[in-house]
Structure 1
Amino acid sequence: MNTIDATTQHATDARDAAAAQVYAVMRRLVLDEDDHRNEVADALGMSFSRTKALRRLVHGSLRMSELTAKLVTDKPYTTLIVDDLERRGLVVRSVHPDDRRCKIVTITEAGREAAELAEAILSRPPRALLGLGDAKLAELKRLLGSL
């Protein structure tokens, strides 16, 4: 490797390392220090995976297969989730009008309210961000906005 290639590789390695450090701080901030998932589960009295399903259905009805893909799970587990949500009156399941083999899952008004509560909890900024001054928040907003 010649000097130019080595210098370029070193710069790339340094940039990748810096990006990894920034990402580690972001993950720690959101997933470790201020993880709201347990709070959501407690507030709604159900597992976070069920609230995740509700939040996916807020934007419109989905086929079971589509919901499975959005939840990144398998079909049997999606069925368990939907069965429970249906028992709670948070979703309804119906036959697809064009393909009787497919089931459509639709959120109810109660399900929409639960999803909105979950979203409100999850949207609360981490305490560390609330502790930043106006200038630092503005700079961070500018930087993140450029991604």
Structure 2
Amino acid sequence: MSESARRSWQRMRALVLDSHDRRPRVVAELGMSFIRIKALRQVARGALTMTELTERLSTDKPYTTLIVDDLEERGLVERTVSPADRRRKIVTITKDGLAVVASAERILNEPPAELLALEPGEQAELDRILAKLAAPSGSTHPGQ
């Protein structure tokens, strides 16, 4: 591993996780734990069975049930029986849940002042490099 790759990774982690971790702010502003916000963000992408949600949250089934119970009580998700298999429950997001997710995304995606202070060309170059890093293997970023 090159020293510059190690330093770059260390700096990206420090920038995102140490200096600008938005999770505490999301929790404070939305009044719920981050795991609940994570669950809402997952369900906002499309309805999930309880098993699928458990897998995506990397939790166990009883804890997922506790999370969904709370979200349901808040009116942020609905749980229904699967028409294909009555033993399965499907979790869908409500209109209020989508509003909470939108608030969370607004906070989480707010660029830090240091990024906004970069010159436009530097911002574009950083975006290009990060898009290249985030692209699945074998694909390219549009415009390259």
TM-score, normalised via structure 1 length: 0.86
Contact preservation (8 Å) 1:57, 1:107: yes
Residue in structure 1 matched with residue 107 of structure 2 by the alignment: 121
The answer to which structure has the higher helix fraction is 1
Instruction: Choose which of 111, 128, 144 in structure 2 pairs with 1:142.
Output: 128
What does 1:62-101 correspond to in 2, within 5 Å?
62-101=48-87
Give the ranges of 4+ consecutive aligned residues of structure 1 lying more than 4 Å apart after TM superposition. none
Structure 2 residue runs without a partner (length 5+): 134-144
Secondary structure in 2 matching 1:101: coil
Secondary structure in 2 matching 1:146: helix
Provide the C-alpha distance between the structure 2 equivalents of 1:90 and 1:126, rounded to a whole number of angstroms. 29
Provide the C-alpha distance between the structure 2 equivalents of 1:68 and 1:117, rounded to a whole number of angstroms. 23
In terms of Rg, which structure is larger? 1
What does 1:1-147 correspond to in 2, within 5 Å?
13=1, 15=2, 17-147=3-133
Provide the C-alpha distance between the structure 2 equivalents of 1:95 and 1:145, rounded to a whole number of angstroms. 40
Partner letter of residue 96 of structure 1?
A: S
Contact preservation (8 Å) 1:34, 1:127: no
Contact preservation (8 Å) 1:64, 1:102: yes
Provide the C-alpha distance between the structure 2 equivalents of 1:20 and 1:83, rounded to a whole number of angstroms. 42
Structure 1 residue runs without a partner (length 5+): 1-12
Contact preservation (8 Å) 1:29, 1:126: no
What per-residue deviation string (whole Å, max 9, x for no partner) do you get for residues 68-114 of structure 1? 11111111111111010011010111111111111100111000100
User: Please, which moves more after superposition, 17-26 or 27-36?
Assistant: 17-26
Identity of aligned residues (%): 55
What per-residue deviation string (whole Å, max 9, x for no partner) do you get for residues 29-54 of structure 1? 11111111111111111011101111
Partner letter of residue 64 of structure 1?
A: M
Provide the C-alpha distance between the structure 1 equivalents of 2:60 and 2:10, rounded to a whole number of angstroms. 29
Work out which structure has the larger RCO, using CA pairs closer than 8 Å and 6 or more positions apart in sequence: 1
Contact preservation (8 Å) 1:95, 1:101: yes
